[in-house]
A and B are shown apart, each in its own frame.
Chain A
């Protein structure tokens, strides 16, 4: 029988090619398979990264190609770290990060917990909740500016309907005190489903037998929740927080379309600030140093976090 399969395969492949392929060792095949990926990533990721590091030590400006590039050492870094604007940007980013994560974890977990009660039709409703995160943040963010219009916007209208305030009395994206919350709300609307899905996977991974055993031991539901559900879901939840943290630290498209960093610079997150330095003020060297600082920050925080995560998992 196997003979037949080989004959069939041999017929399907021209002899010369078959011979050449047959001659390759596993090691060679491994390299042929991996090399294109590595080469492409080196060219599009690593090489630019090295270039960025090099540029960060210079005063290069893209819009002045004829000016001689000077090597200025760590001066760009010094300027960024002593600049008070950088710290304002970091504060705006921290506010955005903390609140989006808190809200998404609370809402996402509650939803996952409810969906896991397996009521009729939960599958369909889960899909509807997931929809926003599949869409283009720039296009959706742009449309949210319409929903946030004072008076005519749907968001203002709904809030006015519920609370009784005048819908033209507040502007979510125009007011310094409200704009940081405007971006938190849209991000939460968009990305809560992500946290929800990961929590759901966590909840579904808990075997029924554990609850059955707890039931035999007459543990109350409340106690089961805190001693079984939460500890078992925690590694998943932490993973969700890691992904959301990295994504929101890089946040650009949604917020740039929503507020463009304004009013003033209260919603100017690090990526928006970086874009301004690099592609509006054209301070290429300075912006490169900024990029390096951001990358080191994300990478450092993520590494520490992953260590903590592994400790929780090992428990």
Chain B
């Protein structure tokens, strides 16, 4: 093994490791608590001292997916024995299931709006980034800075005229309106990041293709796109995560039809005060996909986090 003077000593490695791992465990605690609370009964969730060992229960998830009404003993008797496991959980507290909750709808809205806006942001962003990278676009630097500067605006500040505009155009509380809005917000990210990725592909590849008789379009999608694919994919994940997490526009511009999950989850209320297991169950289902994505794709995400400002 080669030895270098710049290699940290074993003792330094141990010290550094202990510090980082301690911080990581502290940071993880609230997230573990969210997942755990989702599987607690309401009584366990507000027990003092906070329960670390508890009897797992699916009551939170049942409450999340159903609406329930209180029923008298006669009504419950008339209904007969509960037929399903979730019926059993609800009946045990003298309630009956009145119907499904709005959570699946809101979750599905998040999926449609997230993927829809990501798709458009990537298509438009890739085209613009390619043009910025390869052609002489007049006022290129100014345009790029303008695109970046649209991100400095507080969302609430733009929300006022967008609110008015959407009302005029009939786009308030529609999926199309939210997709359009998130596409515009994500464009700055996608243009900047993809521009960086395309800049790194040697221009000689395309020149060779052009000399071989390819048209610009062919050179673009047969030479450049495959080379930039990984970068574009990681940009797409960033756009998706942004749209998935966005709250300010969603809470101001949607109320029912197109409402996404982030404004919905905090409004989940139980019979007496906030139903924390149900909130935690909703949060778990909503946050877990992002956590898994992050862990699986960690190698590719670093650059997106730093907005392409920091090159590898």
The one of A126, A131, A274, A275 in contact with B31, judged by C-beta atoms closer than 8 angstroms, is: A131
Interface string of A106-149 (1 = CB under 8 A from B): 01001101110111111101111111111111111011101101
A114 close to B19 (CB less than 8 A):
yes
A6 close to B213 (CB less than 8 A):
yes
Residues 271-302 (chain B) with a chain A CB within 8 angstroms: 274, 276, 279-280, 282-283, 286-287, 290-291, 293-295, 298, 301-302
Q: How far is the CA of A115 from the CA of B214 in the complex (A)?
A: 47
Interface string of B112-152 (1 = CB under 8 A from A): 00000000000011011011100111000001001101111
Interface string of B295-312 (1 = CB under 8 A from A): 100100110011101101
Q: In the assembled complex, which residues on chain A have CB atoms less than 8 Å from the CB atom of B187?
A: 37, 40-41
Chain B: minimal CB distance from A179 (Å): 18
A257 close to B33 (CB less than 8 A):
no
Q: In the assembled complex, which residues on chain A have CB atoms less than 8 Å from the CB atom of B305?
A: 130, 133, 194, 197
Q: In the assembled complex, which residues on chain A have CB atoms less than 8 Å from the CB atom of B293?
A: 134
B156 close to A252 (CB less than 8 A):
yes
User: Residue B252 at the A interface, CB < 8 A?
Assistant: yes
B306 close to A198 (CB less than 8 A):
yes
Q: In the assembled complex, which residues on chain B have CB atoms less than 8 Å from the CB atom of A159?
A: none
Interface string of A210-227 (1 = CB under 8 A from B): 011001000000000000
User: Residue B85 at the A interface, CB < 8 A?
Assistant: no
Q: In the assembled complex, which residues on chain B have CB atoms less than 8 Å from the CB atom of A111?
A: 19-20, 23
Chain A: minimal CB distance from B63 (Å): 15
Chain A contact residues: helix, strand, loop or mixed: helix
Considering the complex, give the chain A residue whose CB is closest to the CB of B131. A33
Q: A34-B132, A143-B283, A278-B156 are in contact. Are A157 and B50 (CB under 8 A)?
A: yes
Q: A129-B23, A157-B49 are in contact. Are A294 and B215 (CB under 8 A)?
A: no
Q: How far is the CA of A202 from the CA of B245 in the complex (A)?
A: 28
B46 close to A30 (CB less than 8 A):
no
B310 close to A137 (CB less than 8 A):
no
A-contacting 9-mer, from B66-74, B86-94, B177-185, B225-233? B177-185
Q: In the assembled complex, which residues on chain A have CB atoms less than 8 Å from the CB atom of B217?
A: 21, 29
Q: How far is the CA of A115 from the CA of B302 in the complex (A)?
A: 15
Q: In the assembled complex, which residues on chain B have CB atoms less than 8 Å from the CB atom of A120?
A: 13, 17
B244 close to A212 (CB less than 8 A):
no
A48 close to B130 (CB less than 8 A):
no
A134 close to B294 (CB less than 8 A):
yes
User: Residue A24 at the B interface, CB < 8 A?
Assistant: yes
Residues 43-69 (chain A) with a chain B CB within 8 angstroms: 43-45, 47-49, 51-52, 55, 62
Chain B: minimal CB distance from A275 (Å): 5
Q: A152-B50, A154-B29, A279-B252 are in contact. Are A291 and B154 (CB under 8 A)?
A: yes
Considering the complex, give the chain A residue whose CB is closest to the CB of B17. A119
A291 close to B30 (CB less than 8 A):
no
Chain B: minimal CB distance from A140 (Å): 8
A18 close to B215 (CB less than 8 A):
yes
Considering the complex, give the chain A residue whose CB is closest to the CB of B7. A118
User: Residue A100 at the B interface, CB < 8 A?
Assistant: no
Q: A6-B213, A30-B135, A41-B187 are in contact. Are A147 and B33 (CB under 8 A)?
A: yes
The one of A193, A294, A302 in contact with B157, judged by C-beta atoms closer than 8 angstroms, is: A294
Q: In the assembled complex, which residues on chain B have CB atoms less than 8 Å from the CB atom of A165?
A: none
Q: A29-B131, A144-B30, A271-B156 are in contact. Are A211 and B20 (CB under 8 A)?
A: no
User: Residue A259 at the B interface, CB < 8 A?
Assistant: no
B152 close to A26 (CB less than 8 A):
no
Interface string of B164-181 (1 = CB under 8 A from A): 110000000000000011
A48 close to B266 (CB less than 8 A):
no
Q: A45-B158, A131-B291, A198-B310 are in contact. Are A136 and B245 (CB under 8 A)?
A: yes
User: Residue A239 at the B interface, CB < 8 A?
Assistant: yes
Q: How far is the CA of A2 from the CA of B31 in the complex (A)?
A: 56
B154 close to A274 (CB less than 8 A):
yes
User: Residue B191 at the A interface, CB < 8 A?
Assistant: yes
The one of A119, A154, A215 in contact with B33, judged by C-beta atoms closer than 8 angstroms, is: A154
Q: In the assembled complex, which residues on chain A have CB atoms less than 8 Å from the CB atom of B6?
A: 208, 211-212, 215
Considering the complex, give the chain A residue whose CB is closest to the CB of B4. A208
The one of A157, A167, A212, A294 in contact with B154, judged by C-beta atoms closer than 8 angstroms, is: A294
B127 close to A139 (CB less than 8 A):
no
Considering the complex, give the chain A residue whose CB is closest to the CB of B32. A154
Interface string of A228-243 (1 = CB under 8 A from B): 0000000010010001
User: Residue A22 at the B interface, CB < 8 A?
Assistant: yes
B8 close to A40 (CB less than 8 A):
no
Q: A34-B131, A127-B294, A147-B33 are in contact. Are A49 and B218 (CB under 8 A)?
A: no
The 9 closest A-B pairs by CB, nearest first: A291-B157, A44-B184, A48-B161, A114-B16, A138-B247, A33-B131, A119-B17, A30-B135, A136-B245
A-B contact pairs, 22 of them (CB 8 A): A9-B222, A26-B216, A27-B135, A37-B127, A41-B188, A45-B158, A114-B19, A117-B17, A129-B23, A130-B298, A131-B28, A132-B31, A136-B287, A139-B265, A139-B286, A139-B287, A142-B279, A143-B283, A154-B30, A154-B50, A194-B305, A291-B156
The residues of B with any CB-CB pair to A shorter than 8 Å are: 4-6, 8, 12-17, 19-21, 23-24, 27-31, 33-34, 37, 46-50, 124-125, 127-128, 130-132, 135-137, 143, 146-147, 149-165, 180-181, 183-185, 187-188, 191, 212-218, 222, 241, 244-245, 247-248, 251-252, 261-263, 265-266, 274, 276, 279-280, 282-283, 286-287, 290-291, 293-295, 298, 301-302, 305-307, 309-310, 312
Known: A38-B128, A130-B305, A134-B290. 15 other contacts (CB 8 A): A24-B216, A30-B137, A36-B127, A37-B127, A37-B128, A40-B184, A49-B153, A113-B16, A114-B17, A130-B294, A136-B286, A139-B287, A157-B49, A271-B154, A298-B154
